[in-house]
Chain A
Amino acid sequence: MYAVFKRELFSLLNSLMAYITIGVFLLASGLLLWFFPDTSILDYGYAELSGFFGLAPFLFLFLIPAITMRSFAEERREGTYILLATRPLSDWQIIFAKYLACFVLVVFALIPTLIYSYSISALALPTGNIDTGAIIGSYIGLMLLGAAFVSIGIFASSLTKNQVVAFALSVFLCFFAYSGFEAMSQIFSFRSIENILLNLSVNEHYQSLSRGVLDTRDLVYFLTFIAAFLGLTKLVIGGRKW
């Protein structure tokens, strides 16, 4: 499994696509956070990163599908999947290897943003007077959100031969999981349905982690979410209609 993980990660790092998407992610978050006056922290007046953590999920909505779109779709198109499938590897090992490789790349994209938290803490008055708990919680939330989006992306990629279709489908599914349930919950006036839909929403659990409170319910939610989409991927891959 490690061999497949290594190959996947290297092939991602060898492609220009990964650098362009990570570059665009960092550029967009940098511009929105420090330069554009409407969203800039410098004009905001408070030393906190909530702007960044509110923005990052929307950037992930495009960054992550761009990273995951090729994982299975390309192998299907090139016919190379048979090379992997006839090695002594189980379907799960192949899925996990590809999943982890994409997730590691998402973590790579997040690492440079740690500079923002350092800058904030240096700008605070007195220096270092920031809500460290909330920042740590938000980073954990962002990573779990990224992990959930990667599982959606891997699933979408296993459905089609076409990378563009895989990208579009996973953007849609990510967006729906992120705020679709929340929007739907407002349609219903019954409390019970509203609560169920709210609990299904990624955003709801992400917000709860962002407050800096690590709740096992949120953790269980994200792990279940990931397991569900990887399970669906296994169903598609195991069916082998191609």
Chain B
Amino acid sequence: MSIHVNSLSKHFYKQKAVDGISFEAKPGRILGFLGPNGAGKSTTMRMLTSYLKPSSGTASICGFDVETQSIELRKVMGYLPENTPLYTDMYVQEFLLFVANTYQLKDAKQRVKDTIEKVGLAAEQHKKIAMLSKGYKQRVGLAQAIIHDPKVLILDEPTSGLDPNQLVEIRELIKQLGKNKTVIISTHIMQEVEALCEEVIIIDKGRIVANSPIIELKKEHQLTSLEDIFRKLTS
């Protein structure tokens, strides 16, 4: 098990953003993390990346605890935050080299080159990030998450705001990455989940309402579309 979450909670003052969730994720699989807006998806991901401190409960990635071994954890984990924040005043290559150096990679320059190839940024690599279109910014975001070849990838809404062509390309890329890594993606586009994931976790108001493979979920609820299941469980 590369991701282990045990009754994890996060409270912001009196509001419970995440309320005692537990799940596990295996390598070589893409796990879809679904839920309506404000259900606690991003908060859970932020706790997994050890950006936010959990109010209670534990979580670990590859055996590293989020609270006590956060530095080791961050070395094996790649994260694409919501809305893809980037240093827009930097050039693509410069930014990726900076990211590679924060991991103290030995062959940083080669890694940057390979990653640029991998995410299909070759034509734009000499541009400033501020000049790039949304789709290419998203690729830079993915590149910074995978540059150190992490075992676990956490992607927070990786396809929001992309056009249909870019959508297909980014999905293809995530699918490839999912072959030998543990990938968690959060989204509220149902077609995307069906195209990418085998397993889904649906959360609503900070609690898990479903956690099983898509096929079983459909059997269980006697419904053929994931969208209907989603609406039944979260409304």
Residues of A whose CB lies within 8 Å of any CB of B are: 2-4, 6-7, 11, 14-15, 78-80, 82-90, 240
Q: Do A88 and B85 touch (CB < 8 A)?
A: no
B86 with A3: CB separation less than 8 A: no
Interface check B58, CB cutoff 8 A:
no
- Let me know if A11 and B49 touch, CB within 8 A: no
Contact B71 A90 (CB under 8 A): yes
Minimal beta-carbon separation of B107 from chain A (angstroms): 15
Assuming the A-B contacts A3-B101, A88-B75, A90-B71, are A82 and B85 also in contact, with contact meaning beta carbons closer than 8 angstroms in the complex? yes
Residues from chain A with a CB closer than 8 A to the CB of B77 are 86
Give the residues in chain A near B90, CB-CB below 8 Å: 7, 11
Is there contact, CB below 8 Å, between B103 and A88?
A: yes
Once bound together, how far apart are the Cα atoms of A88 and B150, in whole Å? 12
Q: Is B44 engaged at the interface, CB distance under 8 Å to the other chain?
A: no
B74:A87 contact, CB within 8 angstroms: yes
Which among A15, A85, A88 has the highest number of chain B CB atoms within 10 Å?
Answer: A88
Q: Closest approach, in angstroms, between the C-beta of B82 and any C-beta of chain A? A: 8
Interface size class of chain B, counting residues whose CB lies under 8 Å from the partner chain: 20 to 34
| Top 8 A-B pairs, shortest CB-CB distance | A3-B101, A79-B85, A87-B102, A88-B74, A80-B85, A86-B49, A82-B81, A88-B75
Contact B87–A80 (Cβ < 8 Å): yes
A240 touches B51 (CB 8 A): yes
A3 to B46, CA, bound (A): 23
Q: Quote the shortest CB–CB distance from B111 to chain A (angstroms).
A: 13
In the assembled complex, the CB of A209 is this many whole angstroms from the nearest CB of chain B, namely 37
| Chain B residue at minimal CB-CB distance from A82 | B81
Proximity string of chain B (49-84) to chain A, C-beta cutoff 8 Å, 1 when within and 0 when not: 111110000000000000000011011010101010
**Contact surface of B with A, Cβ cutoff 8 Å:** 46, 49-53, 71-72, 74-75, 77, 79, 81, 83, 85-90, 98-99, 101-103, 144
Tell me which of B46, B75, B89 contacts A14 (CB under 8 A): B89
| Nearest chain B CB to A87 CB, angstrom units | 4
A90, B90: Cα distance in complex, Å: 23
Q: A3-B101, A3-B102 are in contact. Are A86 and B74 (CB under 8 A)?
A: yes
Bound CA–CA A2/B104 (angstroms)? 10
Q: Are A86 and B51 also in contact (CB < 8 A) when A78-B85, A79-B83, A80-B85 are?
A: yes
12 A-B residue contacts at CB 8 Å? A7-B90, A7-B98, A11-B89, A14-B89, A79-B83, A79-B85, A83-B85, A83-B86, A86-B51, A86-B81, A88-B74, A240-B52
Q: Which residues of A contact B89 (CB under 8 A)?
A: 11, 14-15
Closest to A241 in B: B12
Q: Determine the chain A residues whose CB is within 8 A of the CB of B98 once the complex forms.
A: 3, 6-7
Tell whether, in the assembled complex, residue B144 and residue A82 are in contact, meaning their CB atoms are under 8 Å apart.
no
A89 near B49 with CB under 8 A, answer no
Min CB gap A179→B, angstroms:
36
Q: Could you tell me the distance between the alpha carbons of A143 and B170 in the complex, rounded to whole angstroms?
A: 50
Chain B residues, CB < 8 A from A79? 81, 83, 85
Task: Given A86-B51, A88-B71, A240-B52, decide whether A80 and B102 contact each other with a Cβ distance below 8 A.
Answer: no
Q: How far is the CA of A136 from the CA of B81 in the complex (A)?
A: 49
Residues of B within 8 A of A11 (CB): 87, 89-90
A90 / chain B contacts, CB cutoff of 8 Å: 71
Residues of A within 8 A of B86 (CB): 80, 83
Name the residue on B nearest A1 (C-beta): B102
A82 to B46, alpha carbons, bound, how many Å? 9
Given A79-B83, A80-B86, check contact A87 B103 (CB 8 Å): yes
> Do the beta carbons of A7 and B53 come within 8 Å of each other?
no
Shortest CB–CB separation between residue A45 and chain B, in angstroms? 49
Residues of A within 8 A of B79 (CB): 86
Shortest C-beta distance, A153 to chain B (Å), equals: 20
Determine the distance from Cα of A11 to Cα of B128 in the docked complex, in whole angstroms.
Answer: 13
| Beyond A85-B51, A88-B71, 13 additional pairs, beta carbon < 8 A | A3-B102, A14-B89, A79-B81, A80-B85, A80-B86, A80-B87, A82-B46, A82-B51, A83-B86, A83-B87, A87-B99, A88-B103, A240-B52
Shortest Cβ gap from A75 to chain B (Å): 9
Q: Using CB atoms, name the residue of chain B closest to A238.
A: B53
Which A-chain residue is minimally distant from B46 (CB atoms)?
A82
Complex CA–CA separation, A85 to B85 (angstroms) = 12
Q: Within the complex, what minimum Cβ distance (angstroms) separates A84 from chain B?
A: 8
A127 to B75, CA, bound (A): 60
